[in-house]
Structure 1
């Protein structure tokens, strides 16, 4: 271990011991009250504060307001609703809390703060660059992501393994972190309120909306093994726009080096295959949020983000015998991706359109991937012609989303009814596209390039659909203590028809300190266009596996049927309590039944797979045995039931001149099981043991976060213990008699793990904060897998389970300035 890392660890361990005198970090604490968080808007859009009403920084990092008092705009259409008064469970995480985790990715920060949030713990091959989050152990496509209440577009990348199988998730790391005011996480089904994808819940990212001030920050760190060096720098500046407006501008830069956690390759006796770890990546994020109030009370608003990301992903090492004329020392192909991502919103809103509050807006966004291979070769092409390019273009992928929406709400006084009735409603039009572009000829001819085969021209092309929807959401109080809200939504998809969803929510305040709440709802998750039209072929040194478009003739040859939407029924019941001053407790139990889950169908190997790939137009290398070739497609495989409970607790202890501790404890436990398995058109089961594990046991059965934040004067210290429950996967064999089997797998248990996170911060001057910290302070790793279940024995950890990460400890220094 490098001496610099050892020195940093000693420093952090000493700080950990000092913290024991005071206690231990609070999810509900912040350096300063969040900006732009005063008034709720229609459709969840945060309203700008009046000019000059921004929040000044808290120089001491001292006392902060309880975030359960924060006004929320997610899960409700009523203005001025506080988090603690919500009818559904909701978490509020401030930008300051995200920064104090030491994570330079927002997804990593939220997963560290909220036990109900899951992110991929391991990424290999082309799945490594894209980050995502999910709620309650469900697929990330079952969590809807909003920015300022507006639906965010998905990434163009499609996952084909693990608990994210079949997902084209939203990558929230492409939003500048310094522009984020706070994040509201609704842990409840909300398809009736927001439309498709909101089965597990909603993540609403609220951007800053003030007219003065700003921040700048920089961070650098590396892992305990001395790799994965990270450097990040960014900032945000707010300014007055005319006499009645604001503009917030932000930029962020992040670079991370490769991490490698492979062990010796059985073929070479050395670490020559380096596929397990983080890819090298460089990212630039830019953002703008602006608003201007006209004289007649109408406010114009605009939000834009743009990101560019480059990633370099290692593929499996090829021996010198593969192509000695060009690579006498062997070669490792590298997949490189150039990604451009943007989103732009423009709209107007007001408070008096014939007595109605209204919001009319349009959002257009897209994600564009340019995939390439370097340090590769088309061996069959070289054998036939004596020449092959060493770099090829694999494909272009694109996703776009245009959303036009109108939302209105108004409170009515009803005769003989003691309380106002709020009526909210709206209409929405969405135009979605998914496009694919062919690779260069050398990437797909005669079996294609090593590691990845380029997209065939016959599989390239644009695909699109239109979605129309309308919703109605009345809410009122039956008595002073009893609240009720009802929502209904209709959606029409031009590719598969109509959906209808409803939700009923209620809350009863037994006393000012004790309340019961519950919801019952139905939900829908439409298959993505990528689920229907994506195809690809991955080539290993001695194997090939293809994904066929679900609606293609090739997939039908193997038993595929047209995809249908996933449909769900959600039930949530909970308690909100404040038994003591400054002690806040919530307990929410839930059950989520999902029918026709979309996952990769059973991998079918042998001559039938070769024949199906041939129908798709994919030519295989003659060196491959048919038994080492497999093909699959996306299918409505099974129905599942997920039961769980979320618990959150916060408490504040004041020690007068010795400072304050904001304690917190939170936990999630959830258990999923298969309730029904569908069959393919040819009578085969839609689900094999490996995909069943992806659906039910590849995320932790439980997660616990315990800790606190001590702050006094110029100092603050955060300490958290995180427990990750076990995960269970069914691993593919890569060696032995069951090598590359699509039916026989090894059951593997990732045993529970505890991690320690620590940060110590100091303000040498009032606006400057310097911090040193560690994520996974004691360098903990997951359970190790048998050699025969890793590529040539080189993978020590499960690449499909999403428990803890595989990089071990990460140690960092961070500086932030407020102006």
Structure 2
């Protein structure tokens, strides 16, 4: 077990701005940039320090060996600090899952449509994933290239992929739950997640783990190894290798196009559209009647390599850290029934058989990704004439090649009698290059503490690229499930951003902390912004303090939101994601995306009525103007209201749609709304020492969060309903519910970590409040679907066989709680689902606690 690591007055709100933050505490030894409110972490080359007494009123436990996650009670802004021991007591080897089980305001995505299911995202405080900035060792982490396109609470996500950072490489995580764009630049509206990598000078640790979901598959096998060594007398080098395999899960039931709710083949009476040949072929499909496996986790294989190193030359310290990740994943799509791909010549009809035998079985196409992700940071820091400096450069790139496999091109087969079964759809590539210069100096002014003056600048260049697919993937409508990117979709777009900042932090009197920051940014594609932040805290006594913040911020639209172009298909529909910054979008009347603007307020209190008891309560409000949202479906055909201009825009954008589908249209990102988010964060932490009977750390942490749409923009005049003379709503009830109700307003985590001698147990219970979404089979009539309040229990039991070898068994969601299934349209006689899907008994995928039920695992831990 590791010792406690403590940080005094940890507050990213008082860090030395972008690029510095609390990076210093992660990179000792040597002269470093350290916020005035932070204590430098122990020298990793020195002997280990003894565990810090959590009863010390001037120290804060960085949730390490015996804790599960608390707010850093002495900070001037709300922040949760998670130590490596806390991270290790979550069974699923996935950083998104770790954080969602430890941080109440953090919710991980359960299921994504199309390629979004291959790179799941997460969000903080009910806002967009793009509103949370991810840092590694205080440096900005690049975003994924795989944009989450389809509608839902996580639509538009293109932020950093936390799954590409191994939990075993992390020393601690600091989650700042406060607007911080004035310190870190664009994106830090909901908060900041700062991942601090291990900086040990010797030793190592690792584990192997295996687990699976209760009855839906999802077999998981993972292993990791972290090694550390000295570099000379004043340096260290850490390297971590991680590999994880996760198999498919299947949580859906019968395909409503094929069978009734009892699994019986539909008859000519129950579905008159079925032909005699269809009724003959359907029973011959693989796994009949459970033929459709679209609902569930993707299968994935992920390998991560990470390093963190530094060397102190005396006058300056050189440091570097980086990651490389390789992910290969595939997700099942809707099954194509045996008659979906056919060819008729001289009156004789033949059906495509991907397996090359008879009878024809239909096929289940899969969307596949081959992803290479890398990041590299190098820098130097030191002190010159009393000025502490940190100069660094970061390069990050995410490249995702997209394929459709086990598939067919229906038009190509009909026209030529041949079709490939695998297609290369094209490539996404997102690149970010950042240069930071940060300077800090303390100036005596007769206050209780010196004034910390921090200033610096940043240059950042972003590039987003879409590469087109192979000829078979773009012939007419392309391969089933996911057409390739056409040359008209492809392109390279870039922008640059430059910024300057100034930060002043001090204690005018002993009990009062103040921090004021201002930042000026200029972007090459939309101009300039000035933002600010003011933070204060007053300690009335050791037992009571008040703290508060007011700040402005902004988020630059990602290049993916601005330029992504592709066609999304199902067996019955084809919709084009129209690029927001395109001529085709302007044909309808949409304009280029502009930045979102935000104003944040927070007011909180810190109470310590007893030496072992800490209570923090923080209320907040976040107003976002010109928020970027994905519109609902705008129909060109097959909808309640259809528009010729939509069909014209699709043609102008160069897209060719499947001629056999019944619904076509577009979706687009636009600055569509103003929103207001209000909430409260509560953390109660108490330590019980039972002497020879052991020790327990109790934590209650909760979040109440409510987002309201305050203004919705009107659709362009070209989208006027001829029947009513009114423009259609751009954001239908479904899109509105994704913002306001699809995430639970309440999430409460209760946990206890009990330890005695060689044994420890973690018990955690999470209560998720109800959530709801409006679903529609046709974009016209909507049906409210609710996921009720749920209790999710987790348990882990640990036993140290030797000081260097331990075993753990546990379960996440031990009672196998699953969300409700999608119902039929009330009064339906033809098995129409309220979301227009094909699978009966499929779960509501906006579930905040996942769709797979319980996950049960064992783990073998080693250290040396």
TM-score by length of 2: 0.86
The equivalent residue for 1:325 is 352
- Out of 582, 588, 595, which is 1:558 matched to? 588
Is 1:760 paired with 2:797?
Answer: yes
The separation in 2 between residues aligned to 1:165 and 1:440, in whole angstroms, is: 27
The equivalent residue for 2:212 is 222
The equivalent residue for 1:292 is 311
Is 1:665 paired with 2:700?
Answer: yes
Which stretch of structure 1 is more off in the superposition, 440-449 or 700-709? 440-449
Q: 1:600 to 1:257 in 2, by over 3 A?
A: same
C-alpha displacement of 1:31: 5.1
The equivalent residue for 2:274 is none
Is 1:633 paired with 2:611?
Answer: no
The SS at the match of 1:178 is helix
The equivalent residue for 2:385 is 354
The SS at the match of 1:774 is strand
Q: Report if the CA contact (8 A) 1:786-1:796 is conserved.
A: yes
Please give the residue correspondences for 1:94-173 in structure 2 after superposition, counting only pairs within 5 Å.
Answer: 94-160=83-149, 161-173=151-163
Cα deviation, 1:770-790, whole Å, max 9, x if unaligned, reads: 110000001101122213135
The SS at the match of 2:112 is coil
Q: Report if the CA contact (8 A) 2:121-2:154 is conserved.
A: no
Is 1:345 paired with 2:377?
Answer: yes
- Out of 586, 607, 610, which is 1:577 matched to? 607
The separation in 2 between residues aligned to 1:66 and 1:145, in whole angstroms, is: 31
Q: Report if the CA contact (8 A) 2:438-2:457 is conserved.
A: yes
Aligned pair count reads 767
Cα deviation, 1:321-378, whole Å, max 9, x if unaligned, reads: 112233411011011110000000000001x222111100000011000000111111
The SS at the match of 1:340 is strand
Please give the residue correspondences for 1:335-484 in structure 2 after superposition, counting only pairs within 5 Å.
Answer: 335-350=367-382, 352-414=383-445, 416-484=446-514
Q: Report if the CA contact (8 A) 1:550-1:560 is conserved.
A: yes
The equivalent residue for 1:505 is 535
Cα deviation, 1:221-246, whole Å, max 9, x if unaligned, reads: 11110611100000101100112100
- Out of 761, 764, 770, which is 2:807 matched to? 770
The SS at the match of 1:126 is helix
Q: Report if the CA contact (8 A) 2:27-2:319 is conserved.
A: no
The separation in 1 between residues aligned to 2:176 and 2:115, in whole angstroms, is: 30
C-alpha displacement of 1:32: 3.3
C-alpha displacement of 1:631: 0.6
Is 1:50 paired with 2:43?
Answer: yes
C-alpha displacement of 1:684: 4.5
The separation in 2 between residues aligned to 1:518 and 1:621, in whole angstroms, is: 55
Which stretch of structure 1 is more off in the superposition, 233-242 or 682-691? 682-691
Q: Report if the CA contact (8 A) 2:8-2:74 is conserved.
A: no
The separation in 1 between residues aligned to 2:207 and 2:854, in whole angstroms, is: 22
C-alpha displacement of 1:459: 2.0
The equivalent residue for 1:649 is 684
- Out of 738, 742, 763, which is 1:698 matched to? 742
The separation in 1 between residues aligned to 2:208 and 2:3, in whole angstroms, is: 19
Q: Report if the CA contact (8 A) 1:135-1:201 is conserved.
A: yes
Cα deviation, 1:530-559, whole Å, max 9, x if unaligned, reads: 111101112221211110111112222233
The equivalent residue for 2:632 is 602
The equivalent residue for 2:330 is 312
The SS at the match of 2:96 is helix
C-alpha displacement of 1:622: 2.5
C-alpha displacement of 1:612: 1.8
Q: 1:631 to 1:357 in 2, by over 3 A?
A: same
Cα deviation, 1:73-123, whole Å, max 9, x if unaligned, reads: xxxxxxxxx933211000000121111111200110110011011111223
Q: 1:599 to 1:495 in 2, by over 3 A?
A: same
The separation in 2 between residues aligned to 1:648 and 1:38, in whole angstroms, is: 17
The separation in 2 between residues aligned to 1:234 and 1:67, in whole angstroms, is: 37
The SS at the match of 1:789 is coil
Q: Report if the CA contact (8 A) 1:54-1:210 is conserved.
A: no
Which stretch of structure 1 is more off in the superposition, 214-223 or 42-51? 42-51
C-alpha displacement of 1:797: 4.7
The equivalent residue for 1:622 is 659
Cα deviation, 1:138-158, whole Å, max 9, x if unaligned, reads: 101000000000000000011
Please give the residue correspondences for 1:76-87 in structure 2 after superposition, counting only pairs within 5 Å.
Answer: 83-87=72-76
Q: Report if the CA contact (8 A) 2:181-2:553 is conserved.
A: yes
The separation in 2 between residues aligned to 1:779 and 1:518, in whole angstroms, is: 40
Cα deviation, 1:29-74, whole Å, max 9, x if unaligned, reads: x85325999999833312325353264899xxx99899993598xx
Name structure 2 gaps, 5 residues minimum.
29-41, 63-70, 260-288, 342-350, 355-359, 638-643, 718-726, 825-832
- Out of 276, 280, 289, which is 2:295 matched to? 276
Q: 1:220 to 1:562 in 2, by over 3 A?
A: same
The SS at the match of 2:21 is helix
The separation in 2 between residues aligned to 1:624 and 1:782, in whole angstroms, is: 31
The SS at the match of 1:489 is strand
- Out of 180, 186, 190, which is 1:190 matched to? 180
The separation in 1 between residues aligned to 2:688 and 2:58, in whole angstroms, is: 17
Q: 1:500 to 1:141 in 2, by over 3 A?
A: same
The separation in 2 between residues aligned to 1:237 and 1:457, in whole angstroms, is: 46
The separation in 2 between residues aligned to 1:705 and 1:252, in whole angstroms, is: 28
The equivalent residue for 2:862 is 817
The separation in 2 between residues aligned to 1:552 and 1:182, in whole angstroms, is: 43
The separation in 1 between residues aligned to 2:404 and 2:838, in whole angstroms, is: 24
Is 1:32 paired with 2:22?
Answer: no
C-alpha displacement of 1:389: 1.1
Q: 1:394 to 1:512 in 2, by over 3 A?
A: same
The separation in 1 between residues aligned to 2:509 and 2:843, in whole angstroms, is: 54
Q: Report if the CA contact (8 A) 1:35-1:210 is conserved.
A: no
The separation in 2 between residues aligned to 1:194 and 1:394, in whole angstroms, is: 36
The separation in 2 between residues aligned to 1:587 and 1:634, in whole angstroms, is: 36
Cα deviation, 1:274-322, whole Å, max 9, x if unaligned, reads: 11111110000000100000022x1100001000000011010011111
Q: 1:377 to 1:226 in 2, by over 3 A?
A: closer
